[in-house]
Chains A and B, each alone.
Chain A
Amino acid sequence: MNINTTKIISLLFFIFSAFYLYLAYQIQVFTFDENAPFNARTFPIYLGYAGLFFSGLKLILPDPNTIKVEHEHLEYKKTAILILIAIIYGATILKVGYFLSTSLFLFASYYFLGERRWILMFLLSFPFVAAFMYLLHGILDIYLRDPFLQLIGVMG
Chain B
Amino acid sequence: MIEGILIGLTTALTIQNILMVMVGCFFGTIIGMLPGLGPMTAIALMIPITYGFEPATGLILMAGVYYGAVFGGSTSSILLNAPGVPGTVATSFDGYPMAQQGKAGKALAIAAWSSFAGGTLSAIYLLFMAPSLSKVSLSFRSPDYFALMILGLTAIAAFSSKGQFLKAMMMVVLGLMLASVGQDSLSDITRYTFNNMNLTDGISFVLVVMATFAMSEALTIILKRNDPTSAAKQVSLTELGSIKINKEERTKMYKTIPRSSVIGFLIGVLPGAGATIASFLAYGMERNVVNDQEKEKFGKGSVNGLSAPETANNAACSGSFVPMLTLGIPGSGTTAVMLGALLGFGVQPGPRLYMTNPEIFWSIIMSMYIGMVILLILNLPLIPYIARILAVPKNYLIPLILFFSVTGIYVMSFNNFDIYLMIGIAVVATYLRLYDFPMPPLILAFVLGGLMEENLRRSLLLSNGSWEFLWDRTLTACILATTILIVVWHIYKTFKKKN
**A interface residues with partner B (beta carbon < 8 Å):** 5-6, 9-10, 13, 17, 20, 23-24, 27-30, 33, 36-44, 47, 50-51, 54-55, 57-58, 61, 64-65, 67, 69-70, 73-76, 78-79, 82-83, 86-87, 89-91, 93-94, 98, 102, 105-106, 109-110, 113-115, 120, 124, 132, 136, 140-145
Contact = CB atoms under 8 A, between A and B. Distances in A.
Contact of A70 (B227, B398, B497): B227
Contacts of B186: 40
A85 B137 CA distance: 49
Nearest to A24: B191
Contacts of B497: 64
Contacts of B403: 102, 105-106
Contact of B173 (A24, A54, A61, A83): A54
B222 A79 contact: yes
A64 B419 contact: no
Interface in B168-200: 169-170, 173-174, 176-177, 180, 184, 186-187, 189, 191-192
A142 B52 contact: yes
A140 B399 CA distance: 23
Contact of A73 (B176, B224, B463): B224
Given A38-B456, A102-B403, A110-B396, A94 B414 contact: yes
B67 interface: no
Contact of A115 (B396, B406, B419): B396
Given A64-B494, A83-B423, A136-B52, 20 more contacts: A9-B437, A28-B189, A40-B187, A42-B457, A47-B177, A54-B169, A54-B173, A57-B166, A61-B166, A69-B434, A74-B226, A75-B222, A75-B224, A79-B219, A83-B427, A113-B222, A113-B395, A113-B399, A114-B395, A141-B52
Given A106-B399, A124-B396, A75 B420 contact: no
A58 B226 contact: no
A109 B221 CA distance: 14
B143 to A, nearest CB: 13
A43 B427 contact: no
> In which size bucket is the chain B interface?
35 or more
B173 A17 contact: yes
B201 interface: no
Contacts of A57: 166
B399 to A, nearest CB: 3
B498 interface: yes
Given A65-B163, A102-B403, A136 B177 contact: no
A27 B191 CA distance: 7
5 contacts: A79-B222, A86-B423, A87-B423, A113-B399, A136-B407
Contacts, number: 180
Nearest to B422: A90
A24 B396 CA distance: 44
Chain B binding surface SS class? helix
A28 B494 CA distance: 43
Interface string B220-238: 0011111111000000000
B435 A109 contact: no
B411 A136 contact: yes
Across the A-B interface, give the 3 residue pairs with the lowest CB-CB distance, nearest first. Answer: A37-B465, A90-B419, A140-B52
A75 to B, nearest CB: 5
Given A37-B465, A38-B456, A43-B180, A93 B410 contact: yes
B469 to A, nearest CB: 11
A40 B414 contact: no
A148 B49 CA distance: 23
Which of the listed residues A55, A61, A70, A83 has the most CB atoms from chain B within 10 Å of its own CB?
A83
Contacts of A82: 219, 222, 398, 402
Contact of B399 (A50, A55, A93, A109): A109
A54 B225 contact: no
Contact of B166 (A17, A33, A58, A144): A58
Q: Kindly name the residue among B186, B191, B227, B434 whose own CB sees the greatest number of chain A CB atoms within 10 A.
A: B191
B187 A30 contact: yes
A142 B411 contact: yes
Contact of B189 (A10, A27, A94): A27
A94 B410 CA distance: 9
A113 B166 contact: no
Contacts of A142: 48, 51-52, 411
A50 B48 CA distance: 34
Given A87-B423, A93-B410, A124-B396, A67 B402 contact: no
Contacts of A55: 170
Interface string B422-433: 010001001010
Contact of A37 (B170, B395, B464): B464
B166 A38 contact: no
Contacts of B427: 83
B456 A43 contact: yes
B167 A73 contact: no
Interface in B455-474: 456-457, 460-461, 463-465
Nearest to B194: A23
B400 interface: yes
Contacts of A86: 402, 406, 419, 423
Contact of A51 (B49, B173, B393, B407): B173
A113 B186 CA distance: 48
Given A28-B189, A75-B226, A106-B403, A38 B164 contact: no
Contacts of A30: 187, 189
A9 B189 contact: no
A98 B410 contact: yes
A23 B9 CA distance: 52
A43 B411 contact: no
A100 B296 CA distance: 60
A33 B411 contact: no
Contacts of B396: 110, 115, 120, 124
Given A10-B170, A51-B170, A79-B222, A38 B394 contact: no
